[in-house]
Every structure is written in C-alpha cells, then in structure tokens.
Amino acid sequence: MNNSERSTAVKQVRESEEKVTKRRFDSAQVIPISFLVAIIAGTFLLLLPFSTVPGEETDLLTALFTATTSVCVTGLVVVDTYAHWTLFGKIVILILIQLGGLGMISVASMIMLVAHRKFTLGMTVMLHDSFNLNSLSGLFRFLVGVFRGTFIVEGIGALLYMPAFIPQFGIVKGIWISVFTAISAFCNAGIDIIGPDSLISYNGNLLVMLTTMLMIVLGGLGYIVWFDTLNGIRKGYERSFSPRQIYKRFSEHTKLVLILTASLIFGGAAIVFVMEFSNPETIGNMSIGGKILNSIFQSVTFRTAGFAAVPQQGLREYTCVLGDILMFIGGSPVGTAGGIKTVTFFAVLLNAISYIKDRDETVIFGRRFSPDVIRKAAAIMTVSFFVSFIMAILLMMCEDTSMNDSVFEVLSATCTVGLTRALTPTLGTAGRIIIIISMYLGRIGPISMALFFSAKRSGRNKVKYVQGDFIVG
C-alpha cells in the first residue's frame, strides 16, 4: 500500500468513527426525549376531566408527578391511585407503565417491525443503545423475544393473581386488578389499584406474595439472562444433561447475574429478618413463617419493586440503611429494574479487590472484565451516587425532613424503586419537583442526561499524553 492509499484508508476509518460517534450521540438525545414526550403526553391525558373521579381535583403538578412515576416505573404517588383516578385514568397509568418498562425506542421499533417499515441504520443503533447491548447481531430477533416474553410472563402473573383477587372483588374487577398488578410488578413499578396500603393486607397471603416476588425477580433478571437460561435448559434437556452441566454451559453474564440476584435476595432477607425480628411495627408480631416470608419480600422489593408488605415508616433506622444500599444496587442489566445494576456494582467491587490483591486483571469464572467495562461501571456508579447525594441534600433543604427519610426517598426515586416512609404525599411543590427530576434521571440514567447536554463528544483521545506524576490514596 502506497502513501496515497494509506492516507485514503486512514481518512475512511476516521470518517466511519465520526459517523458512529454521531449516531451514538443521537441515541443519547432521542432516548431521554422519548421518555420526556411520553411523560408530557401522559400528563395531558391525566389532566382531562374524565381521568379524575368526581369530587377530586387534579392539578398540573399532580398529573406530571403521576405520569413521571408511571413512565419511569418508579411507584411513588402523591394521590391514591385506586381512589383518585377513574377507569380511564388507571388505563392511562397502566399503558404508561408498560411503555416505560419496555422502553419507548423498543416500542416504536416493534410497531415499525409489525408494520413492515424499513429500519434505518440510525434507528437500529438507537434500539441497540436502548437495550445497552454489546452487539447488533440478532437485534430484531431479540426485540421480538422481549415483547413475546413480557406478555407471556405478565399473562401468567395475572392468572396467578386471579384466585386471590376474583373472590374478593368479583370477576370483572378481580381480573382487572390482576392484570394491572401483574404488569406493574413485572415492570417493577410498584403502583397498585387495590387499596391505600399497597400489599400490607396481603402480607399473609402466600399466593399474592410469591406471585409478586416472582414477577419482580423475572423483570429484574434481564432479558439476556432469560433467553440464555431458556436456551441452555432446552439444549440440556435434548442432550440429557444434568442440572449442573446445564448451569456450567450458561454464559458468564448469566451465571454472575443468577448468583448475585440470589445472594442479594437471601442475604438481604437474612439481615432484614434479624434487624426487624422483634419490631412490632413490621414483622415483630408475625409467626416465624410470616417473618421469613415478609423478610424475603422486603429484600426483593427493596431492589426496585415498590410494593410494600409492611409499613416502610415502621422500619428501623439501620434497616433503612440496608434498604438504601439494596435500592442503589437495584436489578440486573437489560431488564425492567432500576438502580446502577448488579453487574455494575460487582465489577467496581471486584476491580477494587483485584487491586488490593495486586492483580493485573479483574477476573470471574475464568473471564476478565475489559477495561472499558470497568471504566463504564465506575462512571455509572460515581455519577449515580453524586446525583442521589445532591438531590437528597436539596430535599432536606426544601422539605426540612430527616436525613434518613430524605436519602430513602431520593434513592427510591433515582433507583426507580417506589418505596416511601410516608413522605411522598406530604411533599410540597419544591419537594415534588425534586422527586420528579430524580425519577426521570433515574429512568434514563444520569450519564445519558450528561451526554444529552454535551455539546460535543470527541470520542477516544486522538493524542497520547505524557503520564503525569499524580498521587492518590
């Protein structure tokens, strides 16, 4: 290759890199805007007179708060969903929850796919970025699998709820409540239309509690884990593999997510059980079986669900601190859960352990985390922490609340959990605006918002700088 050909090749590579960077920046713009458009549309629909029951009034801030908590699948509410909204209003909320759980870009892409519309490269990249995947390969097959799997799981969840809700509310209303609760649980929204106390009156109902936990966990595992697990089980069954052999053939991501999810659920449940064992305001007066069941439920719901089986304001201070940690970690990547995600937290933690042990690489299951993944995980964790920290301070300043309640409320919002220590309904205008912003940032990700406001993304360094002599620690 002569000098002219080499110069042409280098120019083409640079132009290609610039195009990819531009498309990624477009994704960073469109994804936050798509959620904002859904919130605005939902606010408008909830402001319509027939969205609110007679005798109640819905102001702009209440409609905006409700639309935001629905689209961002958070679950914090300033009015009782079951009593304030008409059937039309509740249907609007449910649609917003479903749209928020699946993601606006994926819903738009699915509509285009069904309508046999041609996808542009930019649209394909945006869909890829919305799912946070590592490859464009099999993207549309993955999209179809997401929608099919979501509706199947939500349908099964609704059927499981019906034996509990139909006898209590009648056939039509019982089915409606079952469907609403199944979708809300799977999307990790935590909004319900049962009554004023979430699932507290059902904390002894094994069917409702287990179904809710199942839906929350399935939504929080992530679609990649779903498909890898189902594919591994199918192939293992065809080849008569033992359960151990099937597990060993899972991808390293799937194995890590399953281990982290089980560890956080049951580890968190054990700690809640010990901390709240004698607390009469939560599980103190329950039987041993009830304490175990509700401790597991509390551990599950802490990590992004928002359903409450015990009064959250009754939790002891140190249990709330545990809840803050679990909320911050959240669920797993490419699912409906919030938080910084389990693998993100583990990558940062394992990298620290590797440094302490003087290892050059961060390794799990004989596979190393790439430097880019470690950098991304550290950035997500750092930015998310500071956003939550700043919002908590602002809430304390505006509402004159305790640090514990403010941190709990803000983390519940930024990590799209939806639990509250009875603080949300009492918030003033400033407090509600802070929580609305927190919910929005939590759903799209603080880093996505930072990229949205970036005037220019230069990509990787084109110049290698001389190493500086800095000191840390």
pLDDT digits (tens, 9 = 90+) for 340-384: 999 999 999 999 999 999 898 898 888 899 888 899 899 889 989
CA 227 to chain centre: 19
pLDDT digits (tens, 9 = 90+) for 43-76: 999 999 999 999 899 999 999 999 999 999 998 9
Alpha carbon separation from 73 to 48, 228, 290, 371 (Å, rounded): 22, 25, 28, 32
Return phi, psi of residue 365, to 5°: 55, 30
Q: Tokens representing 71? A: 């689209």
Q: In angstroms, rounded to a whole number, what is the distance separating the alpha carbons of residues 426 and 432?
A: 9
User: Among residues 187, 49, 79, which one has the least CA distance to residue 432?
Assistant: 79
Q: In angstroms, rounded to a whole number, what is the distance separating the alpha carbons of residues 167 and 161?
A: 11
Q: In angstroms, rounded to a whole number, what is the distance separating the alpha carbons of residues 36 and 99?
A: 12
Q: Tokens representing 452? A: 């949205």
Going by pLDDT thresholds of 50, 70 and 90, the confidence category of residue 162 is: very high
Question: Element (H or E) spanning 367, and its range?
Answer: strand 367-368
Domain ranges of the chain: 3-452
CA 377 to chain centre: 16
Least confident of 169-183, 240-254, 256-270: 240-254
* % of the chain with per-residue pLDDT over 90: 57
According to the model, what pLDDT value does residue 20 have? 46
Secondary structure class of 85 (helix, strand, coil): strand
pLDDT digits (tens, 9 = 90+) for 212-240: 999 999 998 988 898 889 889 988 888 88
According to the model, what pLDDT value does residue 22 have? 47
Q: In angstroms, rounded to a whole number, what is the distance separating the alpha carbons of residues 420 and 438?
A: 14
pLDDT digits (tens, 9 = 90+) for 297-345: 999 999 888 899 999 999 999 999 999 999 999 988 878 888 899 999 9
pLDDT digits (tens, 9 = 90+) for 397-456: 999 889 999 999 999 999 989 999 989 999 999 999 999 999 999 888 765 655 555 545
